[in-house]
Amino acid sequence: MSEDIFKQKPKPSRNRSKRLRKKLFLDEFQELGFEIRAEFHTDEDELLDDVIDYIEAQTWIMGGGVGQGILQGYLCGPANTVNDKALSEFALWLEKQGCENISFGTIHDATYGQL
């Protein structure tokens, strides 16, 4: 059996219950994600603590971390909190923390891979 079958977004349906939409991460339960990479020259532990606080305040989650002067990872959160404006604000916040060469991947559906 192909692994791709598990990444296919379910076909639109008007009759899905709220419970099923939540289970499938659809509609109001959709989660979006993006990759991040930034360089820094400040204290690793302090930066990581500050980044965690910022991410939690946005109701995002992150996989990845910091090491050797690089912050790298994958962030995702509810669709209404992940958008270009939020990424711009995050980039400005990171610059204030001393990060440079900040880059973000494209925003996509964290569950199914496409928007």
Q: What is the pTM of this model?
A: 0.83
Domain membership flag for residue 7: no
Domain membership flag for residue 24: no
| Boundaries of domain holding 108 | 31-115
CATH number at residue 101: 3.30.70.100
Q: What is the count of structural domains for the chain?
A: 1
pLDDT of residue 6: 54
Query: What phi, psi does 16 have (nearest 5°)?
Result: -75, 135
Domain membership flag for residue 40: yes
Tens of pLDDT, residues 38-69: 999 999 999 999 999 999 999 999 999 899 99
Domain membership flag for residue 42: yes
Taking 3-state DSSP, the helix, strand and coil percentages for the chain, each rounded to the nearest 5, stand at 35, 30, 35
